[in-house]
Structure 1
Amino acid sequence: MAVTSARTLRLLSVFGVGATLTAEELAERLEVSVRTVRRDIDTLRDLGYEIEAVRGAGGGYRLGRTTRLPPVVFDEEQAVAAAVALQTVPAVLSGIRENSARALATLRQAMPARSRIRTEPFTVSAARNYWEFPAAPIDAEIVRVIGGAINRQHTVRVDCTGEDGPTTLMLEPHALVVWAARWYLVAFEPAADRWRAMRVDRLEPGMPTGRSFDRRDIPHGDPIAFVMSTHDRGDIPAEWPCHGSALLALPASVVARFAPGGATVEYATDSSCRLSLGAWSWAGLAGLLLTFDADLTDIEPAELRRALRSLRNRIDEGLRYDA
């Protein structure tokens, strides 16, 4: 009976994500037979949970929209995921450390003993890795305001800090993306009839407008792909001891996708762009440019040119030695 109850609870947690899953998919996740899954579904129905059977293509089973889950229905894997997320979120959001610690404590108190045991023995600390080029954590309140506008499908008025000074924009917010430890807003700007990928830390949202909008199809069909392929997303150079730039014989969309965090990409032609970035040394900066495997021209400053020549000489010397 205890095994059956634990399995049924896990099935309920799977349904809690809101997905529609076939009996075969559920059986694979729970590592039981399809017959057992259907029996456990009947058990949940007997307990008063509305489990809908969706017919046709893409059909399966799902939790009814009016069903209320009991507090904190977590399996052991979800418990660990929640504990890790709550401990690492202060690395990307400021002003949230105390609240995340309180949330973790509350969550652990509400967990069944078996799940709590999985989360209590360990703590997670986030440290800066210089290869990740992280940005400073941003204000959690800004994320809350913009996230609320996305959920309610309300337009948002923001003050944006750009290279030409501050501007006020009216946007239709669609998604938030965290990439290279930086927060981006994917939004449509009706006044300019264009999609924007914008650094959230350069936005100051105003009072809620209460004006609704209809969702649009995001370019590339995916907010992550859109952010990664957009070169003019408001990035600013990260603070490093050495800064330089070069004209690369690659499209801006390609370089934007693979440029390290803290770099900026400027469109030049359909087949070239200027990449500006920083690093801990001139040799490190030269090495980053070489990873693009493209022709480099108009390289600035002179220190970067000397570093590239030095790397070339070292490589030539090494090849002669190996020969």
Structure 2
Amino acid sequence: MTDPSSRMLELLSLLQVRREWAGEVLAERLNVSPRTVRRDVDRLRELGYRVEAARGPAGGYRLEAGSDLPPLLFDDEQAIAVALALAVAPASGADIAEAATRALATVRQVMPARLRGRVDAVAVTPTTAGTAVDPDVLVAVSEATRAHEVLRFDYGSAWGEAAERPARRVEPHAVVARNGRWYLLAWNDEVGDAGDWSTFRIDRMHPRAPTRLRFAPREIPGGDPVAFLAARFRGSNVDAGANSGATSGWPCVGTAEVAAPARRLAPFVGADGSAGGAGASGGDADTVLIEIDESTSRLTLGSWSWRALAARFAGLDAEFRIQGPAELSAAARELAARLAAAAEG
């Protein structure tokens, strides 16, 4: 490669994808002499890139983080990924919509026309979370989690009211983004006699000064914080001895015959278990839909309580007959009486 500018771009690309390169290996990859590599490294330093010389018999180079942000180099796939990630950032639940919009405009401006057209072809209108997380709070909680440091914070209510109790003190283990909200999974010594796992919404947290107190991380039951959190929301448990992270499913599962064809029900009771909205959650393995004939289907659903499950079936806007279990039938009668009383009132 004889063009110095193109050669420097390739050198920069190589330095960005690996921690450290031997000088001879870089020279071989660029098809130049080690002396030319040294000159190109000096030019990158003049442009603001902190390329450090590595010690050793063969010598080498590594790209360090700098005090300023120099020009970045993305390949086509990376550029598309960055642009799309910025476009859907408002749906993440973090309060970064304005910053993401400005960043996307900056990235788009420096994109070549062939890539700009591909990004513009994806018309994204992301939904925004009802309650966004302050980025500073998210960073503070994430830093404590990564450093395994005890976290102290005040915890507000769902209506933004300040907490009227002493600051919480927990051992943060995982930050999880779920359905447009951010949660902290932490070990809480204040629960029970021996402590237990607790979940906190990060948009209600107000961290205090860092404690700098380290703790030994515990093993999350099932090994998967996402699966554990999903099980907690369902009201079910995770087998602490399992390594797969699988949950035990909804605590309440029932079956009914529904007077509707399976094709009509399928969009509302797919694998995401979204029917009726009560207790819905992604990845619902308890949902089973079987077509009996053109006008009748057998449907199995799950939820966190029997009354909530009865409400899910009632929300299908079709006649249905419960097949079991008895707890679901009893909950349906209770729900019917409650709805009748509400209508009369």
Conservation of the 8 A alpha-carbon contact between 1:88 and 1:124: no
Give 1 or 2 for the bigger CA radius of gyration: 2
Checking the alignment, whether the CA contact within 8 Å between 1:149 and 1:156 is kept in structure 2 is: no
- In structure 1, the partner of 2:154 is 158
* 2:137 partner letter: V
Over the aligned positions, Cα root-mean-square deviation in angstroms equals 5.4
Deviation at 1:169, TM superposition (A): 2.2
* Structure 1: runs of 5+ lacking an equivalent: 28-32, 129-134, 238-247, 266-272, 311-323
Q: 122, 130, 137: which is aligned to 1:145? A: 137
Inter-partner Cα distance in structure 2 for 1:137 and 1:176? 19
Structure 1 pair 171/220, CA: closer, same or farther in 2 (3 Å)?
Answer: closer
Q: How does 1:84-163 map to 2 (within 5 A)?
A: 84-93=84-93, 95-109=95-109, 111=110, 113=112, 117=116, 121-126=120-125, 136=129, 138-141=131-134, 143-151=135-143, 153=147, 155-159=151-155
What is the match of residue 50 of structure 1?
Answer: 52
Taking a change above 3 Å as real, the CA distance of residues 288 and 147 of structure 1, as seen in their structure-2 partners, is: same
Aligned residue among 1, 8, 12 for 1:5 = 8
Identity %: 20
Letter in 2 for 1:8: L
Structure 2 partner of 1:30: none
Deviation at 1:173, TM superposition (A): 3.2
Tell me: CA distance 1:54–1:220, structure 2 relative to 1, closer, same or farther (3 Å): farther
Identify the residue that residue 276 of structure 2 maps to in structure 1: 280
Judged with a 3 Å threshold, the aligned counterparts in structure 2 of structure 1 residues 95 and 73 are, in CA distance, closer, same or farther, namely same
- The structural deviation recorded for 1:222 is 9.9
Post-superposition Cα deviations, 1:68-126, rounded to whole Å, max 9, x if no partner, equal 662333333222111111110112226433332112113334x3647964665334425
8 Å Cα contact 1:93-1:139 kept in structure 2: yes
Alignment of 1:1-323 (within 5 A): 1=3, 2-15=5-18, 20=19, 35-36=28-29, 42-43=37-38, 45-47=41-43, 48=45, 49-50=51-52, 52=54, 62-64=62-64, 70-93=70-93, 95-109=95-109, 111=110, 113=112, 117=116, 121-126=120-125, 136=129, 138-141=131-134, 143-151=135-143, 153=147, 155-159=151-155, 169-192=168-191, 194=195, 196=197, 198-200=199-201, 204-214=204-214, 216-220=216-220, 225-230=224-229, 233=232, 235=233, 257=246, 273-274=251-252, 279-280=275-276, 289-291=286-288, 304=313, 306=320, 309=323
Compared with structure 1, are the counterparts of its residues 8 and 198 closer, same or farther at alpha carbon in structure 2 (3 Å cutoff)?
A: same
Give the deviation of 1:64 after TM superposition.
4.0
> What CA distance in whole angstroms lies between the structure 1 residues aligned with 2:301 and 2:122?
46
C-alpha contact (below 8 Å) 2:87/2:100 kept by paired residues: yes
The answer to whether the 8 Å contact 2:88/2:126 transfers is: no
Deviation of 1:191 after TM superposition, in Å, equals 4.3
How far does residue 11 in structure 1 lie from its aligned partner after superposition? 1.8
Offset at residue 187 of structure 1 (A): 2.6
* 1:178 partner SS: strand
Shift in CA distance, 92/69, structure 1 to aligned 2, threshold 3 Å: closer
Q: Contact (CA 8 Å) 2:227, 2:245: kept in 1 or not?
A: yes
TM-score normalised to structure 1 length? 0.55
Q: SS at the partner of 2:286?
A: helix
Distance in 1 of aligned mates of 2:114 and 2:7: 17
Instruction: Specify the SS of the correspondent of 2:212.
Output: coil
Report the Cα distance in structure 1 between the residues aligned to 2:53 and 2:222, rounded to whole angstroms: 30
Deviation by residue 1:5-62 (Cα, 9 ceiling, x = unmatched) = 33223223324xxxx4788xxx9xxxxx99307969945644441154799xxxx985
